[in-house]
Amino acid sequence: MNSVKFRRAPGRNNLPSLFEELFNPSFFDFSELKSGLKRPQTNIIENENGYTIELAVPGINKEDVEIKVEKDQLIISSISKNEDETTEADNYTRREFNYSAFSQSFHLPETIDKDAITANYKDGVLAIALNKKEEAKTNATKTIEIK
């Protein structure tokens, strides 16, 4: 088999081609999938009362999710195992989808009331409400008298 060298035509733009994208080594990096660890996609929404963090965690039971606050970190993690008992009669040739886990942390600013954090899980979306402290909610302008 002959090897063929790829050369970009002179004057052609430097946008990567589909060929280059497909054969980029990082394109085939499945390390997160192999280990069962994958960070969920996240939205962070700010409003006048605080923040909402939304995590896409479809297929994960809310009982398998743990949310905790340690110092100034909000830590969200999940470990789920498929603990179905298998017998010799099941005849698995290959079985890979029996374990998944993730852990994600967020720095909490001092303006967040750590005692008022709530969470809700619906339709595969975990929503965590972070309320601002009362003094952080007031954005009123204060005029300072010059003496």
DSSP character string of 41-72: PEEEEEETTEEEEEEE-TT--GGGEEEEEETT
pLDDT of residue 33: 44
pLDDT of residue 108: 93
Q: Is residue 56 part of a domain?
A: yes
- Look up the pTM and report it: 0.62
Q: Is residue 14 part of a domain?
A: no
Sign, Cα dihedral of 64, 36, 28, 94:
negative
Q: State the total domains in the chain.
A: 1
Closest by CA to 99, choosing from 76, 118, 120, 79, is: 79
pLDDT of residue 34: 43
Tokens of 99: 């374990």
Could you list the mean pLDDT of each consecutive 10-residue stretch along the chain, which spans 147 residues? 57 53 49 56 92 92 93 91 62 70 92 94 95 77 81
Q: Is residue 4 part of a domain?
A: no
Q: Is residue 71 part of a domain?
A: yes
Q: Is residue 59 part of a domain?
A: yes
pLDDT of residue 39: 82
Q: Quick count: other Cβ atoms within 10 Å of Cβ 126? A: 21
Q: Is residue 88 part of a domain?
A: no
**Residue 78 is part of a domain; what is its CATH number?**
2.60.40.790
Q: Is residue 16 part of a domain?
A: no
Range of the domain at 73: 36-83+98-136
pLDDT of residue 142: 73
Q: Is residue 53 part of a domain?
A: yes
